[in-house]
């Protein structure tokens, strides 16, 4: 699975340019996957007039061994460096969005950087109850069981697949747990709007992640849309266009409230 970072130029005739506001959006993919999983979302934002950057996170898009060697801090640094580049660029406003693990990283970034908006699709902040024992024991068993089955491809739409590793390295799952803890502990620092897109049926991330997020964010800054016809990878599923439309509409509505240069 070879993937690379993606950069999308803005359509100068897009709706986001009508008020002369230059938007940049950083989109983040999920665990074991790559930029392709959020590319249609990025293309919709680009068509609307935003500059879009979709980085390939360290350990992804190459091989499972690379992911097994990657620490959670490296993913956070990847994102913060990408965001710092956009914040220093020729833009009037910057947003961040992500799917699953990318959602957790987007929330972590919003807690540490002055973004104008955050959009998260089925963000991963906890493990399913059935997986928690395995995660707890992973530091003890990873030498005997270095990989487990895939944690990707949960799509309801027929004929659609997510490009991702076909195995999941156990050491990386330990790092994912660390990322969850770090992100949860910093949610109270987020002081800009957050939109949650959550699937009614998700076979990967438990509903407890969405409930935790809703409880720990300022209700005046929080909005939630329930996706009725999609599974975990909603960015490639039936409700993808709803995500596209809503995120573009929110950025357009915010165009008068961009950050000061």
Q: If you write DSSP's letter for every residue of 102-161 in order, what string do you get?
A: HHHHHHHHHHHS--SEEEEES---S--HHHHHHHHHHHHHTTT--EE--------STT--
Q: Which of 152, 138, 105 has its CA nearest to residue 124?
A: 105
Tell me the C-alpha distance between 22 and 65, whole Å: 39
For residues 25 and 53, the answer to whether their CB atoms sit within 8 Å is: yes
For residues 213 and 125, the answer to whether their CB atoms sit within 8 Å is: yes
For residues 41 and 171, the answer to whether their CB atoms sit within 8 Å is: no
Tokens 């699709």, residue?
Answer: 121
Please give the C-alpha separations between residue 207 and each of 32, 211, 218, in angstroms, as whole numbers. Answer: 21, 6, 19
Tell me the C-alpha distance between 184 and 18, whole Å: 37
Which are the catalytic amino acids?
A: 100, 202, 232
């Amino acid at each position: 699975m070879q993937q690379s970072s993606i950069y999308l130029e803005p359509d100068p005739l897009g709706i986001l340019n009508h008020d002369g506001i230059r938007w940049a959006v950083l989109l983040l993919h999920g665990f074991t996957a790559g930029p392709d999983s959020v590319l249609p979302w990025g293309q919709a934002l680009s068509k609307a007039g935003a500059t879009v950057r979709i980085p390939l996170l360290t350990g992804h898009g190459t091989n499972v061994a690379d992911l097994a060697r990657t620490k959670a801090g490296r993913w956070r640094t990847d994102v913060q460096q990408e965001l710092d580049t956009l914040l220093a660029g020729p833009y009037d406003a910057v947003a961040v969005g992500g799917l699953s693990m990318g959602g957790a990283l987007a929330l972590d970034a919003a807690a540490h950087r002055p973004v104008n908006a955050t959009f998260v699709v089925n963000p991963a902040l906890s493990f399913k109850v059935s997986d928690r024992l395995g995660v707890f024991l992973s530091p003890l068993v990873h030498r005997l069981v270095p990989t487990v089955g895939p944690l990707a491809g949960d799509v309801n739409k027929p004929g659609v697949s997510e490009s991702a590793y076909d195995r999941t390295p156990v050491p990386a799952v330990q790092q994912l747990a660390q990322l969850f803890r770090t992100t949860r502990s910093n949610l109270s620092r987020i002081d800009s709007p957050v939109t949650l897109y959550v699937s009614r049926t998700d076979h990967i991330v438990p509903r407890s992640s969405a409930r935790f997020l809703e409880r720990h964010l300022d209700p005046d800054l929080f909005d939630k849309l329930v996706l009725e016809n999609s599974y975990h990878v909603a960015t490639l599923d039936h409700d993808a266009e709803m995500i596209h439309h809503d995120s573009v509409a929110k950025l357009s509505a915010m165009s008068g409230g961009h950050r000061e240069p």
